[in-house]
Amino acid sequence: MQILCCIRRVFLYILVTLLILGVPNKNSFAQSATGGWLMYFGDSPIDDKWSIYSEVQIRDYFHQQLNNQLLIRTGARYLIDDIHSVRMGYAYVHTAEPLSKGLDAVELREHRIWQEYYQRHARKIFVHNHRLRLEQRMQQFETMNGLDQSFSWRLRYRLGLKVPLSNILPIASRSFLFGYNEVFIIPSSELNFFDRNRVYFAFGYQFNAEMSIQLGFLRQQIHMPDRELKHLNSAQIGVFYNLYRIIKE
């Protein structure tokens, strides 16, 4: 009964979020595109409490008028207990943004400081987690007179759900399903307070204690400053690797 109650809460949250962010403004119109992301995530323990976090993402959209990005994120994690942990670190984002007139790309750079709180709960047939991340973003942007720079805060909340398939099919002991819904909020912005929403579903395989892979699909809805809605669909390949054993040996 308790498990069913948790499942209802998870899907209720996703439904409410999609209803809030999915209703277009009457002055907006939707634009959509498809792309692919390649991702690497690493978490390498130093001791029982501390670990080094690393992440690389290559984001490519097969459209001349959309941005392609390289994201590099690193930081430190402190494990409070088996349920709670905190992280903080730095991220660098390089964006190739097409010019509004022509096909030559403008190179934009972003420096990002971030802090994160993570909570994990293991149930009988699934694992769900909460992630709250605060970002301080120093971004370049294009103007009529060239490039300028801005500073902004962004708040992100993600609710994730992992379902091991071994609970359903004993033969698939290392396979799992994973999904999440993430909301992005810019508190200081009046035009796009709700920055974007991400919904992700993936099939995963756990090779061993150190390595797993996810093949998934990400659907993004982005609220642009001019009230235009942009929908981005991304096929994703994510590799998760723990370097601790290699360093130890």
> What pLDDT digit, counting tens, does each position of 72-104 carry?
999 999 999 999 999 999 999 998 866 554 556
Model pLDDT for residues 186-204, shown as the tens digit of each residue: 987 766 788 999 999 999 9
pLDDT of residue 84: 96
- What pLDDT was estimated at residue 234? 92
Residue range 40-49, pLDDT digits in tens: 999 988 888 9
Whole-Å CA distances, 162 to 17, 125, 135, 165: 19, 9, 25, 9
Q: Are strands 30-45 and 50-61 parallel, antiparallel or unpaired?
A: antiparallel
Query: Confidence band (pLDDT; 50, 70, 90) for 184?
Result: very high
Tens of pLDDT, residues 149-159: 889 999 999 99
Domain count, the chain: 1
Q: What CATH number has the domain bearing residue 131?
A: 2.40.160.20
As a whole number, mean pLDDT of residues 20-31 equals 48
Domain enclosing residue 22, as ranges? 2-248
- Alpha-carbon torsion (145, 221, 38, 162), positive or negative: positive
pTM of the model: 0.81
> What is the residue-wise DSSP string for 137-189?
EEEEEEETTEEEEEEEEEEEEEEEEEEEGGGT-TT-TTEEEEEEEEEEE-TT-
